[in-house]
Amino acid sequence: MRIVALDKNTRENILSDLLKRDPNNYDTYGETVQEIVNQVKEKKDEAVFAYTKQFDGASINAGNVKVTEAEIKEAMEAVEPELLKIMKKAMDNIRDYHQMQVRRSWFDTKKNGVILGQKVTALESVGVYVPGGKAAYPSSVLMNIIPAEVAGVERIVMVTPPGKDGKVNPVTLTAACLAGATEVYKVGGAQAVAALAFGTQSIPRVNKIVGPGNIFVALAKKAVYGHVSIDSIAGPSEILILADETANPRFVAADLLSQAEHDELASAILVTTSRKLAEKVSAEVDRFVEQLSRKEILEKSLENFGYILVASSMDEAVETANAIASEHLEIVTKDPFAVMTRIRNAGAIFIGEYSSEPLGDYFAGPNHVLPTNGTAKFFSPLGVDDFIKKSSIVYYTREALEPVHKDIIAFAKAERLTAHANSIQVRFEGGGHE
């Protein structure tokens, strides 16, 4: 794994390199995705079923697009009991963590009778996209559905591509049932996103769409934004590890590769103050790559976006971590909590050598749907807040309004909005009620 001395130019070059992974740069797919979205918006079920046949090889129609209770029962019986037990443990941790995020409506009553407040309301419906195909990602199912369920969303609709046999992966389906999905449809790709956004004869529309997917799914979410809300445009996975001479090089190498194995665009970066650690980690990475199953992907990922950066000080290392704003940030230093207080930008922060990133992916409880590609500078992990909306509450009596009504009139007139001013003025014509 390449080792580079960190300086201002190095950091700027790496930041520029990482930004090339942004899904918004893949405009070559944009026209194709927009055509799919337009066709689904216009032809509804007909387009959805045609695209499902074309892309997934499955014969889906109005009679079988929705997963039945019998199919859910069959799926749950097919899942290994041990995996089922582990999934339930993970669910408990995820639910407990997200319960702590729940917001309540609040009201503040002042002495003059004014009541101000905020009403918190769960979204009525949410669509959750879950990748399908040969792989199953039950962890993503749990991470997307449980916060919505905790928030109080009444309709949680999951969509996922079927296999050629027209069935949903049993592990994925089981996770959806356990987590609280109210409906599951056998549709994937951009056509599934469009169906959720605009509705079809078989798939009612939702208010918001969340969940990861390939570039077609990401661009489809971007295309329908405004018709519905979305969580974010997810980019490739990434990890940054901040380490000093006290870090275990074998642990660090293993953690870097845990993200590099996702795909060729995944990013794995170590920023360290120790040249000796850098060299040991590089050697350990090389050894691991020879042993692990996804060798080709690991090699290409590290070649494209893998770096070991040697910083002259922890200040420089922290500055670089904040500039990159990684999806996952591990801190493996002598005093990791002190370093953590200086981190401004990261999706999830893992502290200490036994808090490796996969702990967050599967089990600890915090959400693994995280901002990528530098968006941790302004985005947060998926959570309960993503499934609620807030309304302001205002209550004034005549006695509370009277002392300030002239101020409001003057403000409105300053903006030349005379109807605004009149709305206040009429309440005090003649000194009282008509």
Kindly tell me if the per-residue pLDDT of 189 is higher than 80. yes
Active-site residue, selected from the candidate residues 149, 327, 330, 357: 327
Q: What is the average per-residue pLDDT within 172-199? A: 96
Output DSSP code: residue 41. Answer: H
Q: What is the mean pLDDT of residues 144-163?
A: 97
pLDDT value of position 93:
97
- Lowest average pLDDT, out of 188-192, 303-307, 318-322, 405-409, goes to 303-307
Nearest partner of 270 among 283, 284, 258, 255, judged by Cα: 255
416 vs 360: CA distance, rounded Å: 54
Higher pLDDT, 275 or 234: 275
Q: What is the mean pLDDT of residues 180-203?
A: 97
pLDDT bucket at 41, cuts 50 / 70 / 90: very high
- Extract the tokens encoding 118: 């905020």
pLDDT, one tens digit per residue, over 316-337 is: 999 999 999 999 999 999 999 9
Q: Mean of the pLDDT values across residues 88-94? A: 97
Q: What mean pLDDT is predicted for residues 126-130?
A: 97
pLDDT on residue 133: 64
- Which pLDDT score, from 0 to 100, does residue 134 have? 61
Write out pLDDT tens, residues 5-18: 988 888 888 888 78
- Phi first, then psi: give them for residue 79, nearest 5 degrees: -85, 135
Please list, residue by residue across 136-156, b when 16 or more beta carbons sit within 10 angstroms of its beta carbon and e when fewer do.
bbbbbbbbbbbbbbbbebebb
Average pLDDT (76-96) is 96
Alpha-carbon span 336 to 241, nearest angstrom = 11
| Residue 328 a catalytic site member | yes
According to DSSP, residue 202 is labeled S
Give the pLDDT mean for 354-377.
94
User: Considering only 116-120, 233-237, 271-275, 318-322, which range has the smallest mean pLDDT?
Assistant: 233-237
Question: Under DSSP, is residue 42 helix (H, G, I), strand (E, B) or coil?
Answer: helix
Confidence of residue 25 (pLDDT cuts 50, 70, 90): low
Within 10 angstroms of residue 397's Cβ, the number of other Cβ atoms is 11
Please say if 405 is a catalytic residue. Answer: no
Identify the CA nearest to 193 among candidates 205, 178, 175. 205
Non-local CB neighbours of 96 within 8 Å, separated by 6+ positions: 365
Q: Which residue has the higher pLDDT, 135 or 118?
A: 118
For residue 113, the SS3 value is coil
Q: If you search the block for the tokens 């036994």, which residue do you land on?
A: 354
- Kindly state the average pLDDT of the residues 379-406: 96
Active-site option among 149, 262, 316, 328: 328
206 vs 127: CA distance, rounded Å: 6
CA distance 256 to 247: 13
Please give the pLDDT value at position 434: 46
Q: What average pLDDT score do residues 421-430 get? A: 93
